[in-house]
């Protein structure tokens, strides 16, 4: 008679499969998070660039206004602006207007 040999089949614990699924799930989550962060960084860099440009334009405007304030004490500047913007003249001046169109 032949003896029956019993082979013990080892069953892998189901925890190993659960661990693998958890690792894969974490990897997918990490990948999606990285993509979202890269998108947010790109958006923030664009916003920073726009704000820097706006700050530069505002600095130029401030400089121009400071120059105008500094020139405001100059009597010649005041006279030029009165003539140019308000069409003022001194009482002793005579104004001639060319109506010929040229």
Residues 3-52 have pLDDT tens digits of 555 555 566 556 688 899 999 999 999 999 999 999 999 999 999 999 99
Q: Is residue 52 part of a domain?
A: yes
pTM of the model as a whole: 0.48
Q: Is residue 29 part of a domain?
A: yes
Q: Is residue 8 part of a domain?
A: no
Domain hosting residue 75, numbered range: 18-86
pLDDT value of residue 54: 97
CA 101 to chain centre: 51
Exposed, middle or buried: residue 49 (CB in 10 Å: 0-12, 13-18, 19+)? exposed
Instruction: Give the total number of structural domains in the chain.
Output: 1
> Residue 94: which region, alpha, beta or left (left: phi > 0; alpha: psi -120 to 50)?
beta
């Amino acid at each position: 008679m032949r003896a029956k040999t019993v082979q013990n089949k080892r069953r892998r614990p189901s925890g190993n499969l659960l661990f693998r699924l958890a690792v894969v799930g974490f990897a997918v989550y990490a990948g999606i998070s990285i993509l979202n962060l890269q998108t947010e960084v790109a958006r923030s860099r664009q916003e920073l660039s726009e704000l820097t440009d706006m700050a530069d334009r505002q600095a130029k405007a401030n400089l121009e206004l400071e120059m105008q304030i500094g020139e405001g004490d100059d009597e010649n500047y005041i006279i030029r602006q009165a003539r140019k913007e308000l069409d003022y003249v001194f009482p002793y001046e005579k104004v001639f207007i060319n109506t010929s169109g040229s």
